[in-house]
Chains A and B, each alone.
Chain A
């Protein structure tokens, strides 16, 4: 069965950042240096080839882009400057847009203006709603407790509803990803119990990002800063997410600090502030190859996160120093950045929070199934013939 080549596809991927993939002449240097490429998951060479040939149907079922953490060694090695690392990054953006059934992700990746307009609109809507709510019942001079401008039970409900929307999109997209990879893209039998035996992959990769640290193994660096910082940032915002979704009422309460909750908040803030500063600085300085090219969406992510962290810190300081009016104002601004940032998540690169561990999990299942298949074939050659 032959597949149709689509020479126009490469133009489409331009907008996702794969600007140099046409230069690739398939020497395979990239796959040789890549510490993650192996017999089963051949990348970046194979992925680059599928992209050049425009084999969309094959590409959307691949996991390879998720197995790459973009250390950039391949791009450094590439004799034709085809930038395989950035191509894999672009493929991840494209995959996110494929998993997303609404088509919003595609619009965001392809047009920075659409994304910015969407963010500003959501921010303004959020701001208007919060101001309306606060002014209609609350007192601008009170931050916590009775009569607060934005009372914590209300914020809790507000957070949960935003989180709910987010979760619905994320879960639906993750199901689509599973469908593409395991149903459309898997031609061999996958026994159901592998889903159980490999389940540990999900939390393991989610919490450690172990493979990211292995990226640098070949370069023999003791500590790979991008990995550590990335891990810190991720743990920071996941902790924060849990805090605001579950413990917001204790977080906002005053006057004394509840350390059992706040300690996590402080740690998460350290991770977040270090991470955002580091990544903004890296994207400016471009000292690692993976930061040489920044897609518009990358900037939106870090800049918005930076604003969130700053307003969060300011709000906390104002609250604890008794400047309640200021605390309330920064609170509104904080939420005006948080809501678009969260709602953008399923349609942006940030969704790799879910896709990456899921990809590791599915990759392990497929690998096991494949090995099993080969073993069966080898032990029963007659049956196959």
Chain B
């Protein structure tokens, strides 16, 4: 390229790069290359003075390409792209050479590392010459939102968005709102009534004019892309949809809050659930507490109650994860049973006590004060429940190898409560398929980044919140729901959505319509145009992964910013340095 005016910036990264790579030598080498107008090194290129230097140089020397040899583009590509924009240059005219992670951090020999750095920088220069100005696209953002699941997370997200004046379609499978929380009496650790928490939410949800509730309904199809989805909602009870509730809705974003289901305790034979009448699950106890009477199947008030933790959780055979809420819920039961019947003795059979949340440790301490007997068992060495004989003076005996005393003990129990863990719902894979998000091996939906993007998914416009992501308690679910709502409201407020310029396009002259790419696309971004008999990529959905580019037998697909010429020039540059 004759009219290329390239500026090369070699960062020292303090001593991270400079102590292994001879940056001066690299600068000296590149400054002699054709098209390179200037080459500089600096202590921290990402610092404000470093960026200002680049901006100033672009303006002063009419640079039209920039190469920054520094860290990984994951770290600072955005920083330097912003610098280019600030100088009035298209941001895609930048290329980064990673001479830190790929060079100085992994090598010890200064001479060879410098040689490699030269190759990397030269390759970047070869590539940047072929860069084109790309413009990001913007699409309209439909302000309507679909919320799947009417539990605490779903209602919170729906209310948050609807209160801001947007239409929300809330789809719930059951005939009532409230989800799993509606089955609970009090909540740990502050013992607020779940009913009180929910009633307020449900009333507000029902009264909100912007909120359209679809009970006993299911989302059966979702097409389109961020800002422009179309969802089909089907009724499960066979009745035709109500007048003001269309079966097809247009939406811009989706929040998935489908929740969890409890572990089936009968899968663990040791506990005799289903065979011994007084072995019950935590939800069955909740039912008793809500009815106001904690009694055995025979109608007697239990004298000894045992609570077994980690039923289905933290085990190799069932689920290896911790269900996070059961420890505190167990302590809550101890409290509720003891207050209902102070004569009752409670044994809490646990593996570890997870009391990590706010107020949890205090709650644990108070349970100890109330003389709950805590008995520890070894993970994998499960307690066994037998029926007691008449002379034992109790209904059942739980045999367990108690870890803290080293004794094999028998715990008397009239009522045994199994703290069943959380599981992904059996229909979660169906939801995942419809909204096009992924699941982990346990069936939980995967967030786009576990730390920094906890509610977004790899599909733009689809958010996840609550216990469909992983087991969590109410505050965490509510926080996630509000986080998702905040993300969506911010997008709605912008009215348009920027789509990254990095997407693939089909060259209509070359596409033979073989449809090979349609199936391969992990983002369902490729549609087949029946009239033209050709494939077409929806740029708003495309993430530019390049799978279709590689697969196309006619080389009809071009990945923008990753064209064959650009990539090959870079590869050539690596091996043919002057």
CB within 8 Å of B: which residues of A? 1-5, 7-8, 10-11, 22-26, 46, 49-50, 52-55, 58, 80
Contacts of B412 on A, CB cut-off 8 Å? Answer: 4-5, 7
**CB atoms of A80 and B347 under 8 A apart:** no
**Chain B CB within 10 Å, residue with most, of A7, A22, A50, A52:** A7
A22-B368, A52-B373, A80-B368 are known contacts. Are A7 and B345 too (CB-CB below 8 A)? yes
How many Å from the CB of B440 to the closest CB on chain A? 33
A55 to chain B, nearest CB (A): 7
Q: Is A7 in contact with B410, judged by CB distance below 8 angstroms?
A: no
Could you name 21 residue pairs across A and B whose Cβ atoms are closer than 8 Å?
A2-B410, A3-B408, A3-B409, A3-B410, A5-B347, A5-B410, A5-B411, A7-B346, A7-B412, A11-B371, A22-B371, A22-B372, A25-B368, A26-B376, A26-B404, A52-B373, A52-B374, A53-B402, A53-B407, A80-B365, A80-B368
**Which residue of chain B has its CB nearest to the CB of A1?**
B408
Chain B nearest CB: distance from A84 CB in Å?
Answer: 14
Contact B410 A4 (CB under 8 A): yes
Q: Nearest Cβ in chain B — how far from A384, in angstroms?
A: 20
B residues within 8 A CB of A49? 404-405
For residue B222, CB closer than 8 A to chain A, the reply is: no
Output the least CB separation between B308 and chain A (Å).
14
| CA gap between A58 and B407 in the complex, in Å | 10
Q: Is B375 an interface residue (CB 8 A)?
A: yes
CB pair A2–B404 under 8 Å, yes or no, is no
Cα of A310 to Cα of B397 in the assembled complex, Å: 58
- By a CB distance below 8 angstroms, the chain A residues around B345 are 7-8
- Residue from the list A2, A8, A22 in contact with B409, Cβ < 8 A: A2
Bound Cα distance A26, B406 (Å) = 12
> Of A3, A5, A10, A58, which contacts B375 at CB under 8 A?
A5
Q: How many Å lie between the Cα of A361 and that of B346 in the bound state? A: 39
Nearest CB in chain B: distance from A78 CB, A: 12
Partner of B365, one of A3, A23, A52, A58: A23
The 7 closest A-B pairs by CB, nearest first: A7-B345, A2-B408, A22-B371, A49-B405, A26-B404, A2-B410, A7-B373
Residues of chain A contacted by B374 (CB below 8 angstroms) = 25, 52
Nearest chain B CB to A284 CB, angstrom units: 28
CA distance A53 to B409 in the complex (A): 9
Nearest-neighbour CB distance to chain A for B108, whole angstroms, equals 45
Hey, which chain B residues are within 8 Å of A55, CB to CB?
A: 405, 407, 409
Closest Cβ–Cβ distance, residue B343 to chain A (whole Å): 10
Distance to closest chain A CB from B168 (angstroms): 46
Contacts of A4 in B (CB 8 A): 397, 409-410, 412
The B118-140 residues at the A interface (CB cut-off 8 A) are none
> Which one of B365, B373, B375 has the highest number of Cβ atoms from chain A below 10 Å of its Cβ?
B373
Interface residues of B in 340-364 (CB under 8 A from A): 345-347, 353
Q: How far apart are A359's CB and chain B's nearest CB, in angstroms?
A: 22
Do B368 and A5 touch across chains, with their CB atoms under 8 A apart? no
Q: Mark B450-490, 1 if CB is under 8 A from A, else 0.
A: 00000000000000000000000000000000000000000
> Roughly how many angstroms separate A54 CA and B347 CA in the complex, as a whole number?
12
Known: A49-B404, A53-B402, A55-B407. A5 touches B365 (CB 8 A): no
In-complex Cβ contact of A23 among B346, B369, B404, B405 (8 A): B369
Chain A residue nearest to B371 (CB atoms) is A22
Q: Which residues B93-136 have CB closer than 8 A to chain A?
A: none
With both chains docked as a complex, state the minimum distance between the C-beta of B386 and any C-beta of chain A, in angstroms. Answer: 11
Contacts of A1 in B (CB 8 A): 408
